[in-house]
Amino acid sequence: MSNDIAAVFLAIAVVMAVLSVLGVGLMRRAEDQLHYLVPVSVLSAAAMVAAMVSVEVFDARTLKTMLVFAVLAVLNPVLVHATARAARARDDEQARLQ
C-alpha cells in the first residue's frame, strides 16, 4: 500500500516537472521562464519528500531528503529574484547602448 502511495507522489512530481519544462519552452522572455522553474524545485521536491516519508521510516536518508527540500524551498525565491534582476539589468544596459 505504501509503495502505491509513493508511486502516486512520484508520478505527481514527474508530471509537474514535465509541465514546467513545457512552460519554460513556451515562454520567450527569461523573466517569464523563471516562473516555471518554481514548481520543479518546490512542489516536485515536496512530492518526492512525501513519497520518501510514505515508504521509509525516519532515518538518515529521509532526513537528508527533507533537508534538501528545505534548502530548495528557501533558496529558490532568492535565486529567481537575483536572476531576474541580473537579466533586467542586462536588458536595461543593452537598451541604453542602442
Residue matched to cell numbers 543593452 = 94
Instruction: Please tell me whether the overall predicted TM-score, pTM, comes out greater than 0.85 for this model.
Output: no
CA 24 – CA 79 distance, rounded (Å)? 16
pLDDT number for residue 98: 65
Domain that holds residue 88: 2-97
CA 75 – CA 31 distance, rounded (Å)? 17
Domain count of the fold of the chain: 1
Q: How many residues does the chain have?
A: 98
> CA torsion sign, 22 to 28 to 29 to 30?
positive
CB 10 within 8 A of CB 47: yes
pLDDT tens profile 32-72 = 888 888 888 888 989 999 998 888 878 888 889 899 999 98
Mean pLDDT of the chain: 87
